[in-house]
């Protein structure tokens, strides 16, 4: 069910019933037996927040299978997924790696391997490696390139122009910029033209054992990402994300919280205030109207299904959105969101997860977010607020919830509010 406030008027609500697509089930009988004897390593950090960076990593595993390549497993630093181990910890702080490896195998994706294996097989001084750099479209990535490659707009434009003929051009300066031993094969790629990984391997990489990607922003087209298709994949990479299992410390944290505060059946509410405000020019009157609708929906649902327990999570919480806080610092005299969030919790009779560093096994902000994801998606009824198409995190929550309910014979529902 989708409920929207029309023209910012709570008296003019629109209701739509939509059949949501249930993510495909990734089962053992679909396992593919393939050989992976080559490697691909992403040099730069995954530049986005955890949910989107996870998608980017999974999409690379999906594409690299066509080159028979293992993907070098990244690390985690302050909830960011990064390629360097400096001041970083294992990806195992976020995800169950044993489950992840099995999941990738069943889906037919490339496996993840330790960086040590890659360094042993792909010596730093080996001149036969291939380095590629995707020139993602749009000014944001152009500016990134100018800053990191230390080049002018004119030089960048000249390189991009050269890629328009075949989709790629020689870029002999890449390894030097990365501090790597120079390869004889360094190429800049036009992601809007090279849209098939098999073509990339055949015409550009040429079967090299060791492939370095300077910056990887995943797939999906547009101006920020590569345009590789998933037509030949058994499962899209977002379906793999919906089947991830959190790390054991996160599972323990969730179990302790549920034992104390939540029974087997409960309602979950996730409010992405930023994505209620942003499409409406940060109109706080509209946010207030949406929250009033949310409160009514939650309380009506509680009465209808006979469930009193409500779990609440939001980017307005202490460990919520950094971009929301940045907006406050730039534009407001004080932060109104803690008060708004506290009022919402009180009005729906909800409980929240409050991270306590002195008693918790988890230590990373990204892991705190996955506690929220897990608690939200284990609910019997899920209500979300915010424009879903603008948030990979919100889509992750919804997709995982639907995957969890796939074989559920009990009554369940997903309600969206203010998804405009």
- Identify which has the larger pLDDT, 255 or 78: 255
Q: Which DSSP category does 223 fall into?
A: T
pLDDT surpasses 60 at 380: yes
pLDDT surpasses 90 at 304: yes
Contacts of 231 (CB under 8 A, 6+ apart): none
Reported as a pLDDT band with limits 50, 70 and 90, residue 359 is confident
What pLDDT is attached to residue 7?
A: 65
Reported as a pLDDT band with limits 50, 70 and 90, residue 5 is confident
Determine the Cα–Cα distance for residues 11 and 261; give it in Å rounded to an integer: 35
**pTM of the complete model:** 0.93
| Same fold flag, 38-242 and 248-417 | yes
CA 296 from chain centre, in angstroms, equals 31
Determine the Cα–Cα distance for residues 362 and 366; give it in Å rounded to an integer: 9
Across residues 329-343, what is the average pLDDT? 90
Query: What does the mean pLDDT of the chain come to?
Result: 91
Reported as a pLDDT band with limits 50, 70 and 90, residue 351 is very high
DSSP assignments along 292-353, one per residue: HHHHHHHHHHHHHHT---EEEEETTSTTS-HHHHHHHHHH-SS--HHHHHHHHHHHHTEE--
Reported as a pLDDT band with limits 50, 70 and 90, residue 322 is confident
Q: Are 110 and 64 in contact (CB under 8 A)?
A: yes
Please state the φ and ψ torsions of residue 327, each to the nearest 5 degrees: -60, -45
pLDDT surpasses 80 at 307: yes
First vs last Cα of the chain: how many Å apart? Answer: 14
Reported as a pLDDT band with limits 50, 70 and 90, residue 31 is low
Determine the Cα–Cα distance for residues 119 and 68; give it in Å rounded to an integer: 18
Determine the Cα–Cα distance for residues 193 and 167; give it in Å rounded to an integer: 5
What pLDDT is attached to residue 339?
A: 95
What pLDDT is attached to residue 75?
A: 96
What pLDDT is attached to residue 8?
A: 60
pLDDT surpasses 70 at 32: no
Determine the Cα–Cα distance for residues 268 and 297; give it in Å rounded to an integer: 12
Q: List the domain boundaries for the chain.
A: 38-242, 248-417
pLDDT surpasses 80 at 48: yes
pLDDT surpasses 60 at 11: no
Which of the residue ranges 170-179, 310-319, 325-334 would you say has the lowest mean pLDDT? 325-334
Determine the Cα–Cα distance for residues 108 and 103; give it in Å rounded to an integer: 9
Residues found in the chain: 420
Please state the φ and ψ torsions of residue 384, each to the nearest 5 degrees: -125, 155
pLDDT surpasses 80 at 12: no
Q: Which DSSP category does 213 fall into?
A: E
What pLDDT is attached to residue 79?
A: 85
Four-way CATH pick for 38-242: 1.20.1300, 3.10.450, 3.40.50, 3.10.28: 3.40.50
Write out the two tokens for 277.
């405000």
Reported as a pLDDT band with limits 50, 70 and 90, residue 30 is low
Q: Could you count the other beta carbons within 10 Å of the beta carbon of residue 395? A: 19
Across residues 137-164, what is the average pLDDT? 91
Q: Are 130 and 212 in contact (CB under 8 A)?
A: yes
Contacts of 394 (CB under 8 A, 6+ apart): 270, 272, 275, 384, 386, 388
What pLDDT is attached to residue 124?
A: 83
What pLDDT is attached to residue 17?
A: 79
What pLDDT is attached to residue 402?
A: 96
Contacts of 154 (CB under 8 A, 6+ apart): none
Which of the residue ranges 31-35, 48-52, 267-271, 367-371 would you say has the lowest mean pLDDT? 31-35
Task: Mention the CATH class of domain 248-417.
Answer: alpha beta
Write out the two tokens for 148.
């990191």
pLDDT surpasses 70 at 155: yes
Determine the Cα–Cα distance for residues 179 and 250; give it in Å rounded to an integer: 37
Q: Where are the alpha helices (DSSP H) in 4-114?
A: 50-64, 97-107
């Amino acid at each position: 069910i989708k409920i929207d406030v029309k023209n910012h008027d709570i008296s003019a609500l629109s209701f739509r019933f939509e059949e949501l697509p249930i993510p495909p089930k990734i089962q053992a009988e679909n396992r593919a037996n393939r050989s992976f004897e080559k490697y691909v390593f992403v040099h730069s950090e995954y530049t986005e927040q955890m949910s989107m960076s996870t998608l980017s990593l999974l999409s690379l595993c999906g594409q690299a299978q066509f080159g028979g390549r293992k993907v070098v497993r990244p690390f985690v630093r302050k909830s960011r997924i990064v390629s360097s181990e400096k001041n970083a910890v294992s990806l195992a702080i976020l995800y169950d790696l044993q489950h992840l490896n099995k999941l990738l195998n069943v889906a037919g994706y490339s496996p993840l391997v330790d960086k040590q294996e890659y360094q042993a097989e792909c010596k730093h001084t080996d001149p036969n490696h291939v380095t590629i750099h995707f020139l993602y479209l749009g000014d944001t990535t152009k500016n990134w390139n100018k800053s990191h490659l230390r080049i002018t707009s004119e030089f960048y434009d000249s390189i991009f122009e050269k890629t328009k003929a075949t989709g790629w051009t020689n870029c002999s300066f890449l390894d030097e910029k990365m501090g790597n031993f120079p390869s004889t094969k360094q190429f800049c790629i036009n992601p809007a033209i090279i849209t098939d990984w098999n073509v990339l391997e055949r015409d550009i990489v040429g079967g090299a054992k060791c492939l370095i990607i300077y910056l990887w922003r995943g797939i999906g087209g547009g101006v920020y990402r590569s345009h590789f298709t998933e037509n030949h994949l058994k499962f899209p990479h977002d379906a793999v994300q919906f089947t991830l299992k959190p790390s054991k410390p996160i599972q323990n944290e969730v179990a302790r919280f549920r034992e104390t505060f939540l029974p087997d059946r409960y309602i979950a509410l996730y409010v992405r205030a930023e994505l209620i405000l942003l499409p409406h020019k940060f109109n706080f009157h509209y946010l207030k109207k949406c929250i009033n609708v949310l409160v009514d929906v939650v309380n009506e649902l509680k009465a209808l299904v006979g469930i009193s327990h409500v779990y609440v999570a939001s980017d307005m919480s202490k460990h919520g959105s950094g971009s929301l806080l940045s907006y406050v610092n730039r534009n407001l005299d004080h932060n109104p969101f803690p008060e708004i969030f506290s009022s919402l919790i009180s009005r729906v009779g909800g409980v929240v997860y409050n991270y306590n560093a002195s008693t918790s096994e988890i230590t990373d902000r990204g892991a705190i977010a996955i506690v929220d994801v897990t608690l939200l998606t284990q609910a019997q009824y899920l209500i979300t607020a915010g424009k879903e198409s603008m948030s990979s995190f919100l889509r992750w929550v919804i997709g995982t919830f639907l995957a969890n309910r796939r074989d559920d014979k009990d009554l369940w529902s997903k309600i969206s509010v203010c998804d405009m």
